[in-house]
């Protein structure tokens, strides 16, 4: 204890007696001096006595479905930085296989007294899920904002990329390269972003290639948002003579490239692949991935602004803020194979 007192006193520039008074919660110490001692305590790595620990104020929860897909850490970084700049402390809660559910994580955050919660790609995106859970949360006085998903049953601000426009950008790009058999690999159809991508894909295939909806639907394959899921979906689409595959995530796109190579095909010479998200480091894959850039920074900032407006007593519009994605052309797309152009 004496050695610790001496260290803290030296760091704070006060006497050991003063340090002792602060640590024991005694009166008679100036506020500035008390703060200097506490700062020295933190700087030297000593744990504050429980009675002196700062209470967490302005906690904001952030719930993500996972962190293995790089797009979710990217969102988390933007959102956490924006919250910190506004004086709030972000609390990241992540679902894991066999771990806590979204409802359990929500309950945990509410128990910790969070000022609000931001949900990314949560149950609000699942058309088969019960949306009453969000109304109960609102009834409990907890504001929230929902990213990537939409339900007219939930009265809250939503933030989404324009999934239909993303498919139009993808199909238009591939059609301009001469591709006619364009496949779409995405997740389960019960999710709102998946449904919107399908709508955009079918419309673009009809407008760009004159392909009727029934024929275009046969070029759609549902799977999981993983490398393995993309590989399985791509193998099925390649068996249908697709020369290009649009994927609903960059991870799926990497799986599609693996599937093409498994079939002895080269990307992009024999098969073009487009991803979705423009995840960190995706520009350095082999080949560099052409992808749809989800406007993560703008979406994350908008979500934080909307939430803090609600927290501050000025409810944000209970509507959907839709952001335009961008096609980033790299090395995984090229002119369709000549044999398919004949």
Please indicate, yes or no, whether residues 169 and 155 belong to a single structural domain of this protein: no
**What are the pLDDT digits (tens) for 226-255?**
999 999 999 999 999 999 999 999 999 999
State the pLDDT at residue 242.
Answer: 97
**What are the pLDDT digits (tens) for 2-58?**
558 888 989 889 998 999 888 887 878 887 888 888 888 888 888 777 666 554 458
What CATH number has the domain bearing residue 32? 1.10.260.40
- Distance between CA atoms of residues 103 and 3, nearest Å: 48
Please indicate, yes or no, whether residues 117 and 44 belong to a single structural domain of this protein: no
With 0-12 / 13-18 / 19 or more C-beta atoms within 10 angstroms meaning exposed / middle / buried, residue 96 is exposed
Local confidence band at 127 (pLDDT 50, 70, 90 cut-offs): very high
Please indicate, yes or no, whether residues 333 and 195 belong to a single structural domain of this protein: yes
Q: Which residues pair with 16 in a beta bridge?
A: none
**What are the pLDDT digits (tens) for 155-197?**
899 999 999 999 999 999 999 999 999 999 999 999 999 999 9
What CATH number has the domain bearing residue 135? 3.40.50.2300
- Exposure string over 297-320, b if 16+ CB within 10 A, otherwise e: eebbbbbbbbbbbbbeeeebeeee
**What are the pLDDT digits (tens) for 301-333?**
999 999 999 888 887 778 899 999 999 999 999
Local confidence band at 342 (pLDDT 50, 70, 90 cut-offs): very low
Give yes or no for a contact between 233 and 188, defined as CB atoms under 8 angstroms apart.
Answer: no
pTM across the whole model: 0.81
User: Looking at the 3D structure of the chain, how many domains does it have?
Assistant: 3
Give yes or no for a contact between 186 and 158, defined as CB atoms under 8 angstroms apart.
Answer: no
- Distance between CA atoms of residues 104 and 113, nearest Å: 15
Domain of residue 16: give its range: 2-52
Please indicate, yes or no, whether residues 42 and 112 belong to a single structural domain of this protein: no
What average pLDDT does this structure show over 271-281?
94
Give yes or no for a contact between 327 and 175, defined as CB atoms under 8 angstroms apart.
Answer: no
């Amino acid at each position: 204890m004496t050695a610790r007192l001496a260290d803290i006193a030296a760091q704070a520039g006060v006497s050991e007696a003063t340090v002792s008074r602060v640590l024991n919660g005694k009166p008679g110490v100036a506020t500035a001096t008390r703060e200097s001692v506490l700062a020295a305590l933190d700087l030297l790595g000593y744990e504050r006595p429980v009675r002196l620990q700062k209470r967490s104020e302005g906690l904001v929860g952030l719930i993500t479905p996972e962190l293995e897909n790089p797009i979710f850490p990217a969102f988390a970084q933007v959102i956490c930085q924006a919250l910190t700049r506004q004086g709030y402390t972000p609390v990241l809660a992540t679902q894991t296989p066999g771990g806590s559910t979204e409802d359990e994580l929500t309950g945990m955050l509410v128990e910790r007294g969070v000022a609000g919660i931001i949900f990314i790609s949560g149950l609000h995106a699942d058309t088969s899920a019960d949306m009453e859970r969000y109304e109960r949360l609102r009834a409990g006085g907890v504001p929230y904002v929902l990213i990537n998903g939409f339900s007219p049953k939930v009265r809250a601000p939503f933030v989404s990329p324009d999934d239909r426009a993303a498919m139009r950008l993808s199909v238009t790009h591939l059609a301009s390269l001469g591709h006619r058999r364009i496949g779409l690999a995405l997740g389960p159809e019960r999710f709102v972003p998946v449904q919107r991508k399908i709508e955009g894909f079918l419309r673009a295939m009809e407008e760009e290639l004159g392909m009727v909806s029934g024929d275009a639907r046969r070029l759609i394959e549902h799977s999981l948002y993983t490398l393995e899921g993309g590989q399985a979906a791509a193998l099925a689409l390649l068996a249908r003579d697709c020369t290009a595959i649009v994927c609903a995530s960059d991870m799926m796109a990497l799986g599609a490239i693996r599937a093409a190579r498994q079939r002895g095909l080269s990307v992009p010479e024999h098969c073009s692949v487009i991803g979705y998200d423009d995840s960190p480091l995706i520009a350095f894959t082999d080949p560099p991935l052409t992808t749809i850039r989800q406007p993560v920074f703008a979406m994350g900032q908008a979500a934080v602004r909307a939430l803090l407006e609600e927290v501050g007593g000025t409810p944000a519009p209970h509507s959907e803020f839709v952001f335009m994605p961008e096609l980033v052309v790299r090395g995984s797309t090229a002119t369709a194979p000549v044999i398919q152009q004949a």
